[in-house]
Amino acid sequence: MTGTAKDSPRRWRVAVDVMGGDGAPSVPVAAGLDAARRWPVDILWVGPQEQVAAELRRQGAGWPPPGRIVHASQVIEAGDAPVAALRRKQDSSIAVGIRLVREGEADAFVSAGSTGAVMAAGKLMLGTLPGVARPALAAVLPTLDGRGFLMLDLGASAEADPEQLVQYAVMGAIYAREVLERPAPRVALLNIGSEAGKGNRLYRETYERLARSGLDFAGNVEARGLFDGTVDVVVCDGFTGNVALKAMEGAGEACWKLLKAEVARRPLARLAALLLRPVLLGVRRRLDYGEYGAAFFLGLDGLVFKCHGSSDARAIANGIGVAVKACQGRLLHRIGESIGKEDGEALGRGR
Amino acid sequence: MTGTAKDSPRRWRVAVDVMGGDGAPSVPVAAGLDAARRWPVDILWVGPQEQVAAELRRQGAGWPPPGRIVHASQVIEAGDAPVAALRRKQDSSIAVGIRLVREGEADAFVSAGSTGAVMAAGKLMLGTLPGVARPALAAVLPTLDGRGFLMLDLGASAEADPEQLVQYAVMGAIYAREVLERPAPRVALLNIGSEAGKGNRLYRETYERLARSGLDFAGNVEARGLFDGTVDVVVCDGFTGNVALKAMEGAGEACWKLLKAEVARRPLARLAALLLRPVLLGVRRRLDYGEYGAAFFLGLDGLVFKCHGSSDARAIANGIGVAVKACQGRLLHRIGESIGKEDGEALGRGR
């Protein structure tokens, strides 16, 4: 991506949650400064005025700093119950950031704070786009070939019906086209077997509907095949998606922990592991979906991006970059004009 | 386990599918011979008479061989559609093996053949124990501390209701007690968050019922925490369980593939990897649930064990060992007397 926007030369205004994530406030500030150098973006720094200003100064941002500080006196902690915290802390950086989006003062909001609180704020304060039943949490997950694929819903809604899953597919296809630059996205349904007719009622009905839709539907994909990267978008209900995501994370972590424990027990292995360290870290990084930028909520009436709590500045800056790209691709507009039209007019098939 | 059974000194009769799995017939034969040396078991060798006899001779089993050959003229291949293949091949090793169990000629059946065909044969030919709504596919999955935990349903039934999930919990607890030697098994519900009230309707209702049951209920567990080994039994519906299992397998495989690819690209890393090889293989083996013996169907009116298609002789022998243990623990009898009594009389709490 260069400094020149795709659709227009305008600059985008991205609100950044300075108080979100394990590394706050220094990591989000470093990320925002980095993003402002790389993309046509003005950062709205959301957090306690004094603290944000001090951090910007500390990082040599100059005075006045690039963008604008938007004061938010409160912070929602990772341990807070999301909805209750949101009600109690109406001046939290998350609530203020989402409010900026709602009031049109920011084009997008990026946070590494509590997923639950960001999701609750998005649902309560922005609502969904006209025609969208429920928002979905989406993320680009890694594949062996490095291309990655978009998976949704990863847990925004615990319940789903076929109508919702088809909407997820439509929104995912648009995201893949506009943001991931896949001109003709292939969409698959997560399932417990690859043949048609597999799965429970929800998945069998969704399969039928996707097969009749204007989407380029690749059929069912099993969770074991996700890393092979044969499709661009994988659709599932939020319960199943969240379990699958956490199962993959858990298995990956278990690999590393066992490897570490085994290596520590043997001197020769310790030496070898030292030599292999860059390889191991590289593999780990390639499998870490946080590296791909951020998770985001599709279907909300506003752009909201959620980075991993443990994100470093590079990961959050990537999240801001993805937000810019979503702005440039007019993601909300595209979803708005396509939802409910599963016959494919606006879905990019043969575009 | 020693040659002396726990409940009685009797010998158990286990039917082994000589034609099942990638290594058939040599691997199942080697496994059966090994098992017969280690446990009080008479093997019923199920497969084409001549071929089985030749393989037994080839492996120096002596003549007559230990146990008995039961002729089955057909083989269900991995690619066959399970139910159709079962109907078409009524003299297949899987159908004959299950029939031996149904007719009381074998105490258990062990196969590394097609999961779908073994499942279909079990459901159609054995049916469920009185009071059991649906059978569940269960397996002992690895944890970091090496203890492992029982997870079910891994895909026997794509649909489930709270009643079924509670039955899975009861059956799982009995298995953990009688076969895994966990005198007071702790049972958890797979979910998308650890707090009560998380998940979809099915999981919220099941949570309530498990909390009221006589089981030692540890609440919800997330898929990321499965490897930590804090509980003995994890319950979920078959759709979710199958997705979680395959997601874990896929993530594990992706780790190894990436590692291999990265190592191959760098000479120094190649040397280091050579030194690390035993460690890497050890880790891989510890994460391979096939090593723990076999998957099995709980709730069927008969003992049916399914080893991984790629099992080696050790893995299938372990599967036979688990079958013997299930016989010794009178698993079917224990499930039969407990099902429908979730108030916990027979569930081992405080036993």
Q: What is the domain count for chain A?
A: 2
Counting Cα atoms < 13 Å in the Cβ hemisphere of A201 gives 5
Is the domain of A30 the same as that of A109?
Answer: yes
The answer to whether position A120 is within a domain reads yes
Q: Please indicate whether residue B78 or residue A212 has the higher confidence score (pLDDT).
A: A212
**Nearest to residue B72, comparing CAs of B20, B123, B126, B115?**
B20
Is the domain of A146 the same as that of A126?
Answer: no
Is the domain of A266 the same as that of A163?
Answer: yes
Sign for the pseudo-dihedral over CA of A157, A161, A162, A164: negative
Inform me whether the pLDDT recorded for B1 exceeds 50.
no
Rounded Cα distance between A145 and A228, Å, is 7
With vertex at residue B278, the alpha carbon angle to CA B277 and CA B283, rounded to the nearest 5 degrees, is: 100
Q: Which of B242, B267, B290 is the last residue of a domain?
A: B290
Is the domain of B75 the same as that of B216?
Answer: no
Q: Do A266 and B247 touch (CB under 8 A)?
A: no
The answer to whether position A340 is within a domain reads no
Inform me whether the pLDDT recorded for A19 exceeds 90.
yes
User: Pseudo-torsion of CA B283, B287, B291, B292, nearest 10°?
Assistant: 130
Q: Do B273 and A268 touch (CB under 8 A)?
A: no
Q: Do A244 and B249 touch (CB under 8 A)?
A: no
CA B189 to chain centre: 19
Is the domain of B257 the same as that of B318?
Answer: no
pLDDT, tens only, B94-122? 999 999 999 999 999 999 999 899 999 99
CA distances from A333 to A140, A159, B30 (A): 21, 26, 64
Residues 215-254 of A with CB under 8 A from B: 222-227, 236-240, 242-254
Q: Which residues contact A85 (CB under 8 A, 6 or more apart)?
A: A76, A77, A92, A114, A117
Tell me which of A23-37, A240-254, A330-344, B256-270 is least confident.
Answer: B256-270
CA distances from B134 to B22, B214, B339 (A): 29, 21, 12
Inform me whether the pLDDT recorded for B207 exceeds 90.
yes
Q: How confident is the model at residue B79 (pLDDT cuts 50, 70, 90)?
A: confident
Residues of B in contact with A275 (CB under 8 A): 268-269, 271-272
Sign for the pseudo-dihedral over CA of B117, B119, B123, B125: positive
Rounded Cα distance between B34 and B194, Å, is 43
Is the domain of A141 the same as that of A22?
Answer: no
As a whole number, mean pLDDT of residues B250-257 equals: 83
Buried b (16+ CB within 10 A) or exposed e, A192-229: beeeeebbbebbbbbbebbeebbbbbbbbbbbbbbbbb
Cβ of residue A345 closer than 8 Å to a chain B Cβ: no
pLDDT, tens only, B151-169? 999 999 999 999 999 999 9
pLDDT, tens only, A55-78? 999 999 887 888 999 999 999 987
The encoded tokens of residue A268 equal 């020769």
As a whole number, mean pLDDT of residues B303-309 equals: 93
CB B244 within 8 A of CB B193: no
For position A262, which CATH number holds?
3.40.718.10
The answer to whether position A345 is within a domain reads no
pLDDT, tens only, B281-301? 776 766 665 555 679 999 999
Inform me whether the pLDDT recorded for B64 exceeds 90.
no
The answer to whether position A315 is within a domain reads yes
Strands (E), chain B: 12-17, 41-47, 68-71, 108-111, 136-141, 149-152, 186-190, 216-221, 233-235, 295-298, 304-306
Q: Do B223 and A244 touch (CB under 8 A)?
A: yes
> Nearest by CB to A227, which of B155, B250, B273?
B250
Is the domain of B204 the same as that of B238?
Answer: yes
Do strands A149-152 and A136-141 pair parallel, antiparallel, or not at all (unpaired)?
A: antiparallel
Q: Do A192 and B246 touch (CB under 8 A)?
A: yes
- Residue B16, beta-bridge partner list: B45, B110
- Tokens 């989006």 found at: A101
Tell me which of A71-75, A149-153, B52-56, B272-276 is least confident.
Answer: B272-276
Reduce the DSSP state of residue B196 to 3 states and report it: coil
Is the domain of B1 the same as that of B83?
Answer: yes
Residues of B in contact with A253 (CB under 8 A): 224, 227
> Nearest by CB to B263, which of A238, A251, A279?
A279
CB B75 within 8 A of CB B19: yes
Q: Do B258 and A158 touch (CB under 8 A)?
A: no
Tell me which of A158-162, A292-296, B322-326 is least confident.
Answer: A292-296
Q: Do B252 and A251 touch (CB under 8 A)?
A: yes
The answer to whether position A167 is within a domain reads yes
Q: Which of B290, B319, B342 is the last residue of a domain?
A: B290
**CA closest to A244 among chain B residues:** B244
| CB pairs < 8 Å spanning A and B | 181
Is the domain of A16 the same as that of A124?
Answer: yes
Residues 280-319 of A with CB under 8 A from B: 280, 282-283, 286-287
> Nearest by CB to A275, which of B227, B261, B268?
B268
For position B55, which CATH number holds?
3.40.50.10950
Q: Do B279 and A269 touch (CB under 8 A)?
A: yes
The answer to whether position A34 is within a domain reads yes
Residue A158: give the domain boundaries.
Answer: 136-289
Is the domain of A16 the same as that of A80?
Answer: yes
> Nearest by CB to B250, which of A224, A261, A262?
A224
Sign for the pseudo-dihedral over CA of A267, A270, A275, A279: positive
Is the domain of A215 the same as that of A261?
Answer: yes
**CA closest to B271 among chain A residues:** A272
Q: Do B276 and A279 touch (CB under 8 A)?
A: no
Q: Do A158 and B198 touch (CB under 8 A)?
A: yes
Is the domain of B206 the same as that of B274?
Answer: yes
User: In degrees rounded to 5, what are phi and psi of residue A151?
Assistant: -125, 135
Q: Please indicate whether residue B56 or residue B145 has the higher confidence score (pLDDT).
A: B56
Sign for the pseudo-dihedral over CA of A141, A144, A148, A152: negative
The answer to whether position A348 is within a domain reads no
The answer to whether position A26 is within a domain reads yes
Residues 109-148 of A with CB under 8 A from B: 142, 144
Rounded Cα distance between A17 and B309, Å, is 50
pLDDT, mean over chain A: 89
The encoded tokens of residue A28 equal 């989000």
